[in-house]
Structure 1
Amino acid sequence: MNEAASILSWLGAHRDFALAVVTKTWSSAPRPAGAMMAVAADGEVIGSLSGGCVESAVHELALDCLATRRAATAHYGTSDEDAFAVGLACGGQIDVLVTPVLDGAQASSLRIYLEAVAGAQAAALALELPGPTEEVSGSLSGPSRSLALDEHGIVHGDFGHPRLTEHIATDAAAMIAAGSTGTLEFDDTGRRLGAGTRIFVTTSTPPPRLLIFGAIDYAAALAELGRFLGYHVTVCDAREVFTTSARFPAAHEVVVSWPHRYFAAEAAAGRVNDSTVVAVLTHDLKFDVPVLLEAIRSEAGYVGALGSRRTHAQRTDALREAGAAEAEIARIHGPIGLDLGARSPEATALSIFAEVLAEVSGATGASLRTTTGQIHR
C-alpha cells in the first residue's frame, strides 16, 4: 500500500493523527516540498520527510501537536559536528508544518487531496501556516485550516472569509496547471497585497506519459521501469498477435493500432505535452517513420528510436524524403539511450531512462564523482 493509500486508510477508520508536511526546502534536501509523514497517537508512522535524518524529531513534535491539538512549524538545517544533533547530513534544510488531523473539515479536505494523489488526478491541498505574529512560537492556536481543490475545480473547505477562500482556490488552480508547490500570502480578508495569512499549497498532477511503439521484449522491460518511475505507460503496435496485455503486464494501456494514427489522435486530444516520453522500438521503417514524423512535430519532451547507427541513418534519410526538417530530425535521440554498455532488454531500458532523466533535468549524465556543485537541481 502506498503512502497516500495508507493515510486514507487511517482517515477511513476515523483515526486521529498528526500530519507533517515539508513546506520549503533548500540545497540538497532529500525530499521535495509536499512530502508527507503521518504519526498516530500510539506512535505508528506512515511516510518519511528526509530519509531518516529528522524523522525522530518530527515524530516527537507530531505527538506534542496531537496532545495540544495545535499546529506547529519547525526548521531543520545541517547537522553539526555532534553526531546526535538533529539535522540533515546531506547539507540541505527543510521547513515542516505539523498539524493534528481530527475527524472534521480538515480530514475531509485531506481525503479529497489524497484520493486524487492515489488516483493520479489533478488536485491541490492548501494548509494554513503561522503568520508573522505566530512565527516566534511557530504554532497556531489550533489545527491548521485547510482547503482542497479537486480535479473538477470544486472547492472543499474554506478559510472563513469568502474572498480569502476564493483567492486561495484561484491561485491553487494555477499551481495545479503549473505543477508547482509553494507558499501564498494574503491579509485575513484575502487581499493579495496584504500580509499575515500564509498558506502552503501542495499539488497533485497527472503522471507524465510514456508512449512505447513496438510490441517487443525491450518494450516490456521499458514499460516496467517506466511504471516504477511513475509514468503512465502505453504500449502500441499494429500487430495484434504481439500486442496483448499478457505480454505487457506493467503497461497501463495496450493499444492495437498503427502507431502514427494513435499518436496523432492523442496529440490532437491534447494528451501529449512536454513531459511525454516517446520511445519508438520497432526499428522497422514502415512503422518508425510515420510515427516519428508525428512525434517530432508534437510537444513531446523526449523522442527516442531504438536501432543501430545504420538503421538510424536509414530512418533519417526516409524522414527527409517525407519532408522533415533538419531541426525536427535533430530532436530524435537515436540510437536511443546513454552509452552504458547495455545489451539485455532490462539494461537497455535503464540506458533509455538514464538519458530521459538527464534530458529532463538538464544534467550531464557524468559520474557525480567527476562533477562539482549541487547534486539536486
Structure 2
Amino acid sequence: MLDIAEELNRWFEEGRDFAVATVVAVDGSAPRGPGAALAVDGHGAAIGSVSGGCVEGAVYDLCVQALQDGRTVRERFGYGDEDAFAVGLTCGGVLDVLVTPVRGDARVLRAGVSAAARGETSALARVARGPDELLGGALLVHPDGSYEGSLDGDPELDRTAAAEARAMLDTGRTGSVELAEDGSRCPDGVTVFVESKVPPPRMIVFGAVDFVRVGKFLGYHVTVCDARPVFTTRLRFPEADDLVVDWPHRYLRRTVTDERTVLCVLTHDAKFDVPLLEAALRLPVAYVGAMGSRRTHEDRERRLREAGLTRGELGRLRSPIGLDLGARTPEETALSIAAEIVAARRAGTGLPLTGSGTPIHPDADGRKERDDRSRAAA
C-alpha cells in the first residue's frame, strides 16, 4: 500500500474508509511486482493498479466486498488454458493479492502511509498468510529497529517480524518472509509481507545536459552539476531536484553517494571528465557512464591509466555511454542511456526479448544465477 502512499494519506486526512489490495507474491511473468497496490473508497473511487489491467475489475470487486464485510482476504489470480478468457493474467503469471479494509482507527497503517508520504525511511509489515484471525495484523518498523503495532499480540512474534523487516529495510527490499507463530523462522508458519520505503536513489548528471526528465521518469532524485553558472539554472532544469555550480570532481568528493547511486558524466571534456572519473570509479556506486566517441573514450582511458586506475576500476566504466539503439536525436540518446542504466540495475542483457528464450521477469534467484555465471566467465 506504500506504493500509493501520497493518495492514501489524503484519504486518511479526509476521513475516508477504503480497502486496499496489495500484490504480496508473484510467480512467473506479471505486469507489476510485490507492493503494487489498488485502493477503493466507500464511494467507489479507485486509485493505483495491481496488474496494469489484467485483473483490475476482479480486484476492485474484492475491495468493495472487503469494505462491506470488514474481512481481510488473500486471493490468487493466474492463467490457465481452461480460463484463458476469464479472470486471469494473460501474460502467463500468477499474482497473490492481499485485500485489507481500512477504517479511520487503523493507527499503524495510517502512521505507515503518512511516513511514506513524507519520504521517511520505514517498513510496514503485515500478515499475508496464516490463521484468519491474524490477517490484518501490522507493524510499522523504523530504521533504528523500534516498531509500533502488533501482528497478533505475541511479543516474540512481533520482535522477530520487526527484526526481519529491519533487515529488508536496510537494503530497501519489499517481499515476504516466513515465520512460525512462536517467532522462529519456519516455512510452515506465518507469512509476513514487508513493504520497505526508502528515499529514491540518486542520479548525478555532470554537465548541463537535458537528461533530467529521463532520470525523474526512472524514479531518481536528480542532481545536475556543472562548473558553468550560466548553463546551470532553474530555468533550464525546472525538474531537477538539485542544481550545483562546482567543478564536478570537487562536488563528487564532498557529496554523499551509495551503492544505488547512478553517475552520468555528460560533459565530454577531458579537463572535467578525467579528474571526475578518477574519483567516480573508486566509489561503490551502481553505475558510472561517460559520454563521448570511441576515440574520446580511448584517450580518456589512457589518461585514467596514467592517473593510476586499475584494470578492475576501468572495467566499471560504461563508455561510450548507452545501449546500441541506433540513436540519432537527443531524445533517442537519452533513451539509450536510460536503457543501459535499467539493464545494469536489473541485471538485464539488453538483448531483444524476441527469440531470447529467457524469462521476461526473472525472479531474484534467476538474476543471481546469471550474475554467478557472469562472474565465473570473467
Scaled by the length of structure 1, the TM-score of the pair is: 0.89
Question: What secondary structure, in the 3-state scheme, does the structure 1 residue paired with 2:354 have?
Answer: helix
Structure 2 counterpart of 1:360: 345
Stretch deviating more after TM superposition (348-357 or 141-150): 141-150
2:371 matched residue in structure 1: none
**5+ residue gaps, structure 1:** 135-139
- Paired AA for residue 126 in structure 2: L
CA spacing shift, 1:213–1:90, aligned 2, 3 Å: same
2:245 is aligned to 256
CA distance in 2, matches of 1:15, 1:87: 30
Q: Output one character per residue of 1:212-238: Cα deviation in whole Å (capped at 9) or x when no partner.
A: 1112xxx22x11101011011111112
Looking at structure 2, the residues matched to 149 and 83 of structure 1 have their Cα atoms a distance apart, in angstroms, of 41
213 and 18 in structure 1: CA distance in 2 versus 1, 3 angstrom threshold: same
Q: Is the 8 A contact 2:24 2:128 kept in 1?
A: no
* 1:198-209 → structure 2 map (5 Å cutoff): 198-209=191-202
SS for the counterpart of 1:185 is: strand
Letter in 1 for 2:19: A
Q: Look up the equivalent residue of 2:168 and give its one-letter code.
A: M
Give the corresponding residue for 1:16.
Answer: 17
- Number of the residue aligned with 1:298: 283
Q: Which residue of structure 2 lines up, in the alignment, with residue 236 of structure 1? A: 225
User: How many angstroms apart in 2 are the aligned matches of 1:87 and 1:223?
Assistant: 38
Map 1:167-186 → 2, pairs under 5 A: 167-186=160-179
Q: 1:223-276: CA deviations, max 9, x gaps?
A: 11010110111111122222222221121111111111211122xxxx323322
For the structure 1 residues 273 and 142, does the alpha-carbon distance in structure 2 shift closer, same or farther, using more than 3 Å as the test? closer
Q: Does the residue aligned with 1:370 lie in a helix, a strand or coil?
A: coil
Q: Distance in 2 between matches of 1:118 and 1:338?
A: 35
Residue 211 (str. 1) matches residue 196 (str. 2): no
Q: Which amino acid aligns with 1:98?
A: V
Matched, 1:333 2:326: no
Distance in 2 separating the partners of 1:314 and 1:121: 44
**Who is 2:110 aligned against?**
111
Partner of 2:370: none
- The corresponding residue for 2:372 is none
Asked whether the 8 Å contact 2:225–2:244 carries over to 1, the reply is yes
CA contact (8 A) 1:184 1:198 kept: yes
- Deviation (angstroms), 1:204: 1.5
SS in structure 1 at match of 2:92: coil
Contact 1:101 1:143 in 2 (8 A): no
2:271 to 270, 276, 286: 286
Query: What is the CA distance between 1:78 and its match in structure 2?
Result: 0.7
Kindly report the root-mean-square deviation, in angstroms, between the aligned alpha carbons of the 2 structures: 2.1
User: Quick one: percent identity of the two aligned structures?
Assistant: 48
**1:341 CA displacement:** 2.4
Measure, in 2, the Cα distance between the counterparts of 1:376 and 1:36.
19
Residue in 2 aligned with 1:319? 304
Distance 2:248 2:83 in 1: 59
Distance 2:268 2:177 in 1: 50
Give the secondary-structure state (helix, strand or coil) at the position aligned to 2:81. coil
Q: Which moved more, 1:169-178 or 1:145-154?
A: 145-154
CA distance in 1, matches of 2:137, 2:301: 57
| Structure 2: distance between partners of 1:108 and 1:323 | 56
The CA deviation at 1:372 is 1.5
**8 Å contact kept, 2:129–2:135:** no
Query: Cα offset for 1:189?
Result: 4.2
Separation (CA, whole Å) in 1 of partners of 2:350 and 2:343: 6
TM score, norm. by length of structure 2: 0.89
What is the one-letter code of the residue matched to 1:35?
A
Counterparts of 2:247 and 2:191, CA distance in 1: 51
Q: Tell me what 2:333 maps to.
A: 348
1:137 paired residue number: none
1:52-201 equivalences under 5 Å are 52-82=53-83, 84-104=85-105, 107-131=106-130, 134=131, 140-141=132-133, 144-151=136-143, 153-159=145-151, 160-193=153-186, 196-201=189-194
Q: Give, in angstroms, the shift of residue 141 of structure 1.
A: 4.3
Q: Kindly tell me: are residues 326 and 198 of structure 1, through their superposed partners in 2, closer, same or farther at Cα, counting changes over 3 Å?
A: closer
Q: What one-letter code is carried by the residue in structure 1 that aligns with 2:359?
A: Q
Structure 1, residues 320-360: CA drift from partner, whole Å, max 9, x if none? 22111222222211111112222332221111111111222
User: Residue 328 of structure 1 aligns to which amino acid in structure 2?
Assistant: E
Contact 1:128 1:144 in 2 (8 A): yes
- Give deviations 1:95-139, integer Å, cap 9, x for gaps: 1111111112xx3322333334334432111112342xx4xxxxx
SS at match of 2:150: coil
